[in-house]
Chains A and B, each alone.
Chain A
Protein backbone atom coordinates (compact mmCIF):
# COMPACT_ATOMS: atom_id res chain seq x y z
CA UNK A 1 0.00 0.00 0.00
CA UNK A 2 2.81 2.38 0.98
CA UNK A 3 4.74 1.42 -2.16
CA UNK A 4 1.71 2.10 -4.34
CA UNK A 5 1.12 5.47 -2.63
CA UNK A 6 4.77 6.47 -3.18
CA UNK A 7 4.61 5.37 -6.82
CA UNK A 8 1.44 7.35 -7.51
CA UNK A 9 2.53 10.51 -5.66
CA UNK A 10 6.10 10.42 -7.03
CA UNK A 11 5.11 10.05 -10.67
CA UNK A 12 1.93 12.11 -10.37
CA UNK A 13 3.96 15.09 -9.20
CA UNK A 14 6.68 14.53 -11.82
CA UNK A 15 4.06 14.45 -14.57
CA UNK A 16 2.30 17.56 -13.25
CA UNK A 17 5.51 19.56 -12.90
CA UNK A 18 6.78 18.49 -16.35
CA UNK A 19 3.46 19.43 -17.89
CA UNK A 20 3.60 22.80 -16.15
CA UNK A 21 7.13 23.41 -17.52
CA UNK A 22 5.95 22.65 -21.09
CA UNK A 23 2.91 24.86 -20.60
CA UNK A 24 5.10 27.64 -19.25
CA UNK A 25 7.45 27.46 -22.28
CA UNK A 26 4.47 27.47 -24.64
CA UNK A 27 2.82 30.45 -22.95
CA UNK A 28 6.09 32.39 -22.87
CA UNK A 29 6.82 31.58 -26.52
CA UNK A 30 3.34 32.66 -27.60
CA UNK A 31 3.44 35.63 -25.16
CA UNK A 32 0.14 34.57 -23.59
CA UNK A 33 -0.32 36.16 -20.18
CA UNK A 34 -3.99 35.47 -19.45
CA UNK A 35 -6.59 32.78 -20.07
CA UNK A 36 -7.41 29.29 -18.82
CA UNK A 37 -4.01 27.78 -19.68
CA UNK A 38 -2.18 30.55 -17.89
CA UNK A 39 -4.43 30.17 -14.83
CA UNK A 40 -3.86 26.39 -14.80
CA UNK A 41 -0.12 26.90 -15.00
CA UNK A 42 -0.16 29.42 -12.13
CA UNK A 43 -2.22 26.99 -10.05
CA UNK A 44 0.29 24.13 -10.60
CA UNK A 45 3.23 26.41 -9.87
CA UNK A 46 1.72 27.80 -6.68
CA UNK A 47 0.41 24.52 -5.30
CA UNK A 48 3.26 22.14 -6.28
CA UNK A 49 6.42 23.78 -7.63
CA UNK A 50 6.62 26.47 -4.93
CA UNK A 51 5.83 24.02 -2.13
CA UNK A 52 8.94 23.81 0.15
CA UNK A 53 8.43 20.07 0.86
CA UNK A 54 8.24 19.27 -2.85
CA UNK A 55 11.18 21.61 -3.50
CA UNK A 56 13.50 19.70 -1.12
CA UNK A 57 12.23 16.32 -2.37
CA UNK A 58 12.71 17.26 -6.02
CA UNK A 59 16.31 18.38 -5.46
CA UNK A 60 17.13 15.12 -3.64
CA UNK A 61 15.46 12.95 -6.29
CA UNK A 62 16.68 14.90 -9.33
CA UNK A 63 13.15 15.52 -10.50
CA UNK A 64 13.30 19.31 -10.43
CA UNK A 65 13.32 19.75 -14.19
CA UNK A 66 10.92 19.78 -17.07
CA UNK A 67 12.09 17.22 -19.69
CA UNK A 68 11.23 19.50 -22.60
CA UNK A 69 14.50 18.54 -24.33
CA UNK A 70 14.94 20.55 -27.52
CA UNK A 71 11.23 21.32 -27.26
CA UNK A 72 9.60 24.66 -27.93
CA UNK A 73 11.68 27.23 -29.83
CA UNK A 74 14.89 25.19 -30.23
CA UNK A 75 17.92 27.42 -29.86
CA UNK A 76 20.88 27.36 -32.18
CA UNK A 77 24.35 26.36 -31.03
CA UNK A 78 25.93 28.97 -28.73
CA UNK A 79 29.50 29.39 -27.55
CA UNK A 80 31.73 32.02 -25.97
CA UNK A 81 34.65 33.47 -27.86
CA UNK A 82 37.28 35.73 -26.33
CA UNK A 83 39.67 37.87 -28.37
CA UNK A 84 42.53 39.78 -26.78
CA UNK A 85 43.87 42.94 -28.44
CA UNK A 86 47.04 44.88 -27.80
CA UNK A 87 47.19 48.69 -27.55
CA UNK A 88 47.45 48.94 -31.37
CA UNK A 89 44.12 47.09 -31.62
CA UNK A 90 45.88 44.06 -33.08
CA UNK A 91 44.36 40.72 -32.14
CA UNK A 92 47.03 38.84 -30.18
CA UNK A 93 45.03 35.85 -29.00
CA UNK A 94 41.67 34.23 -29.56
CA UNK A 95 39.92 31.25 -28.00
CA UNK A 96 36.57 29.55 -27.77
CA UNK A 97 37.78 26.43 -25.99
CA UNK A 98 39.10 28.18 -22.82
CA UNK A 99 41.75 25.57 -22.22
CA UNK A 100 39.29 22.68 -22.02
CA UNK A 101 40.93 19.53 -23.27
CA UNK A 102 37.95 17.22 -22.82
CA UNK A 103 35.04 17.55 -25.24
CA UNK A 104 32.65 16.54 -22.45
CA UNK A 105 33.76 19.48 -20.31
CA UNK A 106 33.55 21.92 -23.20
CA UNK A 107 29.97 20.73 -23.77
CA UNK A 108 29.26 21.54 -20.11
CA UNK A 109 30.79 24.98 -20.53
CA UNK A 110 28.61 25.64 -23.58
CA UNK A 111 25.53 25.20 -21.39
CA UNK A 112 26.45 28.55 -19.82
CA UNK A 113 26.60 30.19 -23.28
CA UNK A 114 23.07 28.97 -24.07
CA UNK A 115 21.78 30.14 -20.69
CA UNK A 116 23.31 33.58 -21.03
CA UNK A 117 21.95 33.90 -24.59
CA UNK A 118 18.46 33.11 -23.28
CA UNK A 119 19.00 35.53 -20.43
CA UNK A 120 19.96 38.35 -22.82
CA UNK A 121 16.92 37.58 -25.00
CA UNK A 122 14.68 37.72 -21.90
CA UNK A 123 16.24 41.03 -20.87
CA UNK A 124 15.50 42.48 -24.30
CA UNK A 125 11.87 41.41 -24.02
CA UNK A 126 11.57 42.58 -20.42
CA UNK A 127 8.15 44.32 -20.02
CA UNK A 128 8.37 48.12 -20.07
CA UNK A 129 6.11 48.34 -17.04
CA UNK A 130 8.32 45.83 -15.17
CA UNK A 131 10.63 46.44 -12.21
CA UNK A 132 13.45 48.71 -13.45
CA UNK A 133 15.79 47.67 -10.63
CA UNK A 134 15.30 44.00 -11.52
CA UNK A 135 16.18 44.67 -15.14
CA UNK A 136 19.25 46.61 -14.02
CA UNK A 137 20.33 43.67 -11.82
CA UNK A 138 19.77 41.21 -14.67
CA UNK A 139 21.92 43.28 -17.04
CA UNK A 140 24.61 43.60 -14.38
CA UNK A 141 24.59 39.82 -13.94
CA UNK A 142 25.21 39.30 -17.68
CA UNK A 143 28.02 41.87 -17.64
CA UNK A 144 29.62 40.16 -14.63
CA UNK A 145 29.55 36.78 -16.39
CA UNK A 146 31.21 38.22 -19.50
CA UNK A 147 33.73 40.14 -17.38
CA UNK A 148 34.80 37.01 -15.50
CA UNK A 149 35.12 34.93 -18.65
CA UNK A 150 37.24 37.65 -20.30
CA UNK A 151 39.36 38.12 -17.18
CA UNK A 152 39.90 34.37 -16.86
CA UNK A 153 41.47 34.31 -20.29
CA UNK A 154 43.64 37.29 -19.42
CA UNK A 155 44.82 36.02 -16.04
CA UNK A 156 44.80 32.23 -16.40
CA UNK A 157 44.23 31.20 -19.99
CA UNK A 158 45.73 32.07 -23.34
CA UNK A 159 47.20 35.46 -22.40
CA UNK A 160 49.19 33.94 -19.57
CA UNK A 161 50.48 31.15 -21.82
CA UNK A 162 51.46 33.77 -24.41
CA UNK A 163 53.30 35.80 -21.79
CA UNK A 164 55.14 32.70 -20.60
CA UNK A 165 56.19 31.75 -24.12
CA UNK A 166 57.91 35.15 -24.72
Chain B
Protein backbone atom coordinates (compact mmCIF):
# COMPACT_ATOMS: atom_id res chain seq x y z
CA UNK B 1 0.00 0.00 0.00
CA UNK B 2 1.35 3.43 -0.93
CA UNK B 3 2.04 6.26 1.48
CA UNK B 4 -1.04 8.33 0.56
CA UNK B 5 -3.37 5.31 0.69
CA UNK B 6 -1.99 4.30 4.10
CA UNK B 7 -2.52 7.71 5.67
CA UNK B 8 -6.00 7.90 4.11
CA UNK B 9 -6.82 4.56 5.79
CA UNK B 10 -5.64 6.04 9.09
CA UNK B 11 -8.02 8.98 8.55
CA UNK B 12 -10.98 6.71 7.85
CA UNK B 13 -10.20 4.31 10.72
CA UNK B 14 -9.74 7.02 13.35
CA UNK B 15 -12.77 9.08 12.31
CA UNK B 16 -14.96 5.92 12.18
CA UNK B 17 -13.84 4.82 15.65
CA UNK B 18 -14.52 8.27 17.05
CA UNK B 19 -17.91 8.35 15.37
CA UNK B 20 -18.87 4.99 16.93
CA UNK B 21 -17.64 6.07 20.37
CA UNK B 22 -19.30 9.47 20.18
CA UNK B 23 -22.63 7.95 19.13
CA UNK B 24 -22.48 6.09 22.47
CA UNK B 25 -21.68 9.31 24.38
CA UNK B 26 -24.37 11.25 22.50
CA UNK B 27 -26.96 8.62 23.49
CA UNK B 28 -26.40 9.49 27.17
CA UNK B 29 -25.07 13.01 26.80
CA UNK B 30 -27.66 14.40 29.19
CA UNK B 31 -26.01 12.52 32.08
CA UNK B 32 -22.56 13.91 31.23
CA UNK B 33 -23.25 17.42 30.00
CA UNK B 34 -26.65 19.06 30.29
CA UNK B 35 -28.70 21.19 32.66
CA UNK B 36 -29.51 17.97 34.53
CA UNK B 37 -26.02 16.45 34.32
CA UNK B 38 -24.75 14.27 37.14
CA UNK B 39 -22.13 16.95 37.91
CA UNK B 40 -22.57 20.66 37.14
CA UNK B 41 -20.03 21.54 34.43
CA UNK B 42 -18.56 24.34 36.56
CA UNK B 43 -17.88 21.96 39.45
CA UNK B 44 -16.32 19.39 37.13
CA UNK B 45 -13.94 21.99 35.73
CA UNK B 46 -12.55 23.04 39.14
CA UNK B 47 -9.12 21.51 39.80
CA UNK B 48 -8.45 21.10 36.07
CA UNK B 49 -6.30 23.07 33.67
CA UNK B 50 -9.38 23.86 31.57
CA UNK B 51 -11.09 25.86 34.30
CA UNK B 52 -9.81 29.26 33.14
CA UNK B 53 -10.63 28.43 29.51
CA UNK B 54 -14.13 27.01 29.79
CA UNK B 55 -15.57 28.12 33.10
CA UNK B 56 -16.36 31.70 31.87
CA UNK B 57 -18.43 30.23 29.02
CA UNK B 58 -20.61 28.12 31.30
CA UNK B 59 -20.84 30.86 33.95
CA UNK B 60 -22.07 33.23 31.22
CA UNK B 61 -24.64 30.67 30.05
CA UNK B 62 -25.89 30.05 33.59
CA UNK B 63 -26.05 33.79 34.36
CA UNK B 64 -28.07 34.49 31.20
CA UNK B 65 -30.36 31.47 31.62
CA UNK B 66 -29.08 29.85 28.43
CA UNK B 67 -29.66 26.12 28.20
CA UNK B 68 -26.51 23.99 28.43
CA UNK B 69 -28.54 21.03 27.08
CA UNK B 70 -29.40 22.89 23.86
CA UNK B 71 -25.82 24.17 23.50
CA UNK B 72 -24.26 20.73 24.02
CA UNK B 73 -26.75 19.04 21.69
CA UNK B 74 -26.03 21.59 18.94
CA UNK B 75 -22.26 21.24 19.40
CA UNK B 76 -22.55 17.44 19.38
CA UNK B 77 -24.58 17.40 16.15
CA UNK B 78 -21.98 19.65 14.50
CA UNK B 79 -19.26 17.32 15.76
CA UNK B 80 -21.03 14.26 14.31
CA UNK B 81 -21.38 16.07 11.00
CA UNK B 82 -17.68 17.03 11.00
CA UNK B 83 -16.77 13.39 11.68
CA UNK B 84 -18.84 12.19 8.73
CA UNK B 85 -17.05 14.77 6.52
CA UNK B 86 -13.70 13.54 7.86
CA UNK B 87 -14.57 9.94 6.93
CA UNK B 88 -15.73 10.99 3.46
CA UNK B 89 -12.72 13.25 3.01
CA UNK B 90 -14.87 16.26 2.17
CA UNK B 91 -13.02 19.54 2.85
CA UNK B 92 -10.76 17.28 4.91
CA UNK B 93 -8.51 19.85 6.60
CA UNK B 94 -11.39 22.17 7.52
CA UNK B 95 -13.41 19.19 8.77
CA UNK B 96 -10.55 17.94 10.96
CA UNK B 97 -9.96 21.44 12.32
CA UNK B 98 -13.66 21.74 13.20
CA UNK B 99 -13.71 18.24 14.69
CA UNK B 100 -10.61 19.00 16.77
CA UNK B 101 -12.05 22.22 18.20
CA UNK B 102 -15.45 20.64 18.91
CA UNK B 103 -13.83 17.55 20.44
CA UNK B 104 -11.84 19.80 22.78
CA UNK B 105 -14.96 21.83 23.62
CA UNK B 106 -17.11 18.77 24.38
CA UNK B 107 -14.66 16.53 26.18
CA UNK B 108 -12.63 19.16 28.02
CA UNK B 109 -15.94 20.47 29.40
CA UNK B 110 -16.29 17.12 31.19
CA UNK B 111 -12.66 16.43 32.19
CA UNK B 112 -13.66 14.11 35.02
CA UNK B 113 -15.04 11.67 32.45
CA UNK B 114 -11.98 11.78 30.17
CA UNK B 115 -9.23 9.21 29.97
CA UNK B 116 -6.14 8.64 27.81
CA UNK B 117 -8.28 7.72 24.80
CA UNK B 118 -9.56 11.30 24.48
CA UNK B 119 -6.03 12.72 24.40
CA UNK B 120 -5.12 10.13 21.77
CA UNK B 121 -8.06 11.25 19.67
CA UNK B 122 -7.02 14.90 19.96
CA UNK B 123 -3.52 13.85 18.94
CA UNK B 124 -4.81 11.81 15.98
CA UNK B 125 -6.98 14.72 14.80
CA UNK B 126 -3.97 17.04 15.05
CA UNK B 127 -1.91 14.69 12.89
CA UNK B 128 -4.76 14.37 10.38
CA UNK B 129 -4.84 18.18 10.25
CA UNK B 130 -1.09 18.37 9.74
CA UNK B 131 -0.69 15.68 7.06
CA UNK B 132 -2.43 15.32 3.66
CA UNK B 133 -4.80 12.53 4.71
CA UNK B 134 -7.48 13.60 2.22
CA UNK B 135 -5.61 12.80 -0.98
CA UNK B 136 -6.87 9.20 -1.37
CA UNK B 137 -10.27 7.56 -0.78
CA UNK B 138 -11.69 11.05 -0.35
CA UNK B 139 -14.25 13.24 -2.04
CA UNK B 140 -11.60 15.96 -2.10
CA UNK B 141 -9.43 13.97 -4.52
CA UNK B 142 -12.36 13.80 -7.00
CA UNK B 143 -13.42 17.36 -6.32
CA UNK B 144 -9.97 18.83 -6.95
CA UNK B 145 -9.09 16.41 -9.75
CA UNK B 146 -5.46 16.25 -8.60
CA UNK B 147 -2.91 14.44 -10.77
CA UNK B 148 -1.70 11.47 -8.71
CA UNK B 149 1.56 11.10 -10.58
CA UNK B 150 2.61 14.63 -9.54
CA UNK B 151 2.39 13.85 -5.82
CA UNK B 152 5.74 13.88 -4.11
CA UNK B 153 6.73 11.61 -1.26
CA UNK B 154 7.32 13.75 1.84
CA UNK B 155 10.62 13.86 3.67
CA UNK B 156 11.21 11.34 6.45
CA UNK B 157 10.68 14.02 9.09
CA UNK B 158 7.30 15.00 7.72
CA UNK B 159 5.55 11.69 7.20
CA UNK B 160 2.59 10.51 9.26
CA UNK B 161 3.85 6.91 9.78
CA UNK B 162 7.16 8.25 11.11
CA UNK B 163 5.33 10.65 13.46
CA UNK B 164 3.03 7.89 14.73
CA UNK B 165 5.91 5.48 15.15
CA UNK B 166 7.91 8.02 17.17
CA UNK B 167 4.88 8.93 19.26
CA UNK B 168 4.11 5.27 20.05
CA UNK B 169 7.78 4.63 20.88
CA UNK B 170 7.66 7.42 23.46
CA UNK B 171 4.28 6.25 24.81
CA UNK B 172 5.37 2.64 25.26
CA UNK B 173 8.85 3.47 26.56
CA UNK B 174 7.54 5.92 29.19
CA UNK B 175 4.74 3.52 30.13
CA UNK B 176 7.29 0.68 30.47
CA UNK B 177 9.62 2.90 32.49
CA UNK B 178 6.87 3.82 34.94
CA UNK B 179 6.06 0.12 35.36
CA UNK B 180 9.65 -0.96 35.86
CA UNK B 181 10.03 1.59 38.69
CA UNK B 182 7.22 -0.03 40.67
CA UNK B 183 8.04 -3.32 42.49
CA UNK B 184 4.37 -4.33 42.12
CA UNK B 185 5.06 -4.91 38.42
CA UNK B 186 7.88 -7.33 39.22
CA UNK B 187 5.77 -9.80 41.22
CA UNK B 188 2.46 -9.60 39.34
CA UNK B 189 0.64 -7.68 42.08
CA UNK B 190 -0.02 -4.73 39.76
CA UNK B 191 -1.67 -6.85 37.08
CA UNK B 192 -3.89 -8.44 39.74
CA UNK B 193 -4.90 -4.98 40.98
CA UNK B 194 -5.67 -3.82 37.45
CA UNK B 195 -7.97 -6.81 36.85
CA UNK B 196 -9.34 -7.26 40.36
CA UNK B 197 -12.93 -7.07 39.15
CA UNK B 198 -12.55 -10.62 37.88
CA UNK B 199 -14.87 -13.14 39.45
CA UNK B 200 -13.51 -14.51 42.77
CA UNK B 201 -14.10 -17.98 41.35
CA UNK B 202 -11.26 -17.38 38.90
CA UNK B 203 -7.93 -18.14 40.51
CA UNK B 204 -4.81 -16.95 38.71
CA UNK B 205 -1.57 -18.53 39.99
CA UNK B 206 0.95 -15.93 41.21
CA UNK B 207 3.69 -17.19 38.87
CA UNK B 208 1.37 -16.62 35.92
CA UNK B 209 0.62 -13.07 37.10
CA UNK B 210 4.36 -12.40 37.52
CA UNK B 211 5.06 -13.80 34.03
CA UNK B 212 2.29 -11.66 32.53
CA UNK B 213 3.55 -8.57 34.37
CA UNK B 214 7.13 -9.04 33.25
CA UNK B 215 5.97 -9.71 29.69
CA UNK B 216 4.01 -6.45 29.62
CA UNK B 217 6.99 -4.49 30.97
CA UNK B 218 9.39 -6.16 28.50
CA UNK B 219 7.07 -5.59 25.52
CA UNK B 220 6.65 -1.92 26.39
CA UNK B 221 10.34 -1.26 26.98
CA UNK B 222 11.43 -3.16 23.87
CA UNK B 223 8.79 -1.65 21.59
CA UNK B 224 11.06 1.24 20.61
CA UNK B 225 13.69 -1.21 19.34
CA UNK B 226 11.50 -3.93 17.85
CA UNK B 227 9.32 -1.45 15.97
CA UNK B 228 12.29 -0.85 13.65
CA UNK B 229 12.55 -4.54 12.76
CA UNK B 230 10.53 -6.76 10.41
CA UNK B 231 8.34 -7.85 13.39
CA UNK B 232 6.80 -4.37 13.49
CA UNK B 233 3.45 -5.23 11.88
CA UNK B 234 2.76 -8.36 13.95
CA UNK B 235 4.08 -6.71 17.11
CA UNK B 236 2.08 -3.54 16.60
CA UNK B 237 -1.14 -5.34 15.77
CA UNK B 238 -0.89 -7.76 18.67
CA UNK B 239 0.06 -5.18 21.24
CA UNK B 240 -2.16 -2.50 19.83
CA UNK B 241 -5.19 -4.63 20.47
CA UNK B 242 -4.46 -5.23 24.14
CA UNK B 243 -7.39 -4.40 26.41
CA UNK B 244 -7.37 -1.38 28.72
CA UNK B 245 -9.83 -2.74 31.25
CA UNK B 246 -13.27 -2.17 29.76
CA UNK B 247 -11.86 0.38 27.32
CA UNK B 248 -11.55 -1.70 24.16
CA UNK B 249 -11.94 1.41 22.02
CA UNK B 250 -8.65 2.70 23.45
CA UNK B 251 -6.93 -0.48 22.27
CA UNK B 252 -8.54 0.01 18.86
CA UNK B 253 -6.99 3.48 18.52
CA UNK B 254 -3.57 2.03 19.35
CA UNK B 255 -4.19 -0.65 16.73
CA UNK B 256 -4.92 2.01 14.08
CA UNK B 257 -1.75 3.94 14.96
CA UNK B 258 0.36 0.78 14.99
CA UNK B 259 -0.85 -0.45 11.62
CA UNK B 260 -0.05 2.68 9.58
A and B together in one complex: yes
Chain A residues near B (Cβ < 8 Å): 3-4, 6-7, 11, 14-15, 18-19, 21-22, 25-26, 29, 55, 59-77, 98-109, 111-112, 115, 141, 144-145, 148-149, 152, 156
Q: A141-B47, A148-B43 are in contact. Are A62 and B193 (CB under 8 A)?
A: no
User: What residues of A have a CB within 8 angstroms of the CB of B146 in the complex?
Assistant: none
Query: A29–B181 Cα gap in the complex (Å)?
Result: 10
Query: A18–B120 Cα gap in the complex (Å)?
Result: 14
Whether the Cβ atoms of B182 and A11 lie closer than 8 Å is no
User: What residues of B have a CB within 8 angstroms of the CB of A55 in the complex?
Assistant: 49
Taking residues whose C-beta sits less than 8 angstroms from the other chain, chain B's interface range is 35 or more
From the candidates A15, A61, A108, name the one contacting B170 in the complex (CB within 8 A). A15
From the candidates A66, A111, A145, name the one contacting B114 in the complex (CB within 8 A). A111
Q: Would you call B223 an interface residue if the criterion is a C-beta within 8 Å of the partner chain's C-beta atoms?
A: no
Chain B residues near A (Cβ < 8 Å): 21, 24-25, 27-28, 31-32, 36, 38-40, 43, 46-47, 49-50, 53, 100, 104, 108, 112-116, 118-126, 154-155, 157-158, 162-163, 166-167, 170-171, 174-175, 177-179, 181-182, 184-185, 190, 193-194, 196-197, 244-247, 249
Whether the Cβ atoms of B246 and A111 lie closer than 8 Å is no
Whether the Cβ atoms of B175 and A67 lie closer than 8 Å is yes
A54 CB to closest chain B CB (Å) equals 12
From the candidates A15, A61, A72, A115, name the one contacting B112 in the complex (CB within 8 A). A115
A74 CB to closest chain B CB (Å) equals 4
Besides A62-B123, A74-B185, 13 new A-B residue pairs in contact (Cβ under 8 A), listed by A number: A3-B155, A22-B177, A25-B178, A26-B178, A68-B175, A69-B116, A73-B184, A77-B196, A101-B27, A108-B32, A112-B113, A141-B46, A148-B40
User: What residues of B have a CB within 8 angstroms of the CB of A103 in the complex?
Assistant: 246
User: What residues of A have a CB within 8 angstroms of the CB of B120 in the complex?
Assistant: 62
Whether the Cβ atoms of A152 and B38 lie closer than 8 Å is yes
Whether the Cβ atoms of A64 and B49 lie closer than 8 Å is yes
Whether the Cβ atoms of A77 and B197 lie closer than 8 Å is yes
Whether the Cβ atoms of B116 and A14 lie closer than 8 Å is no
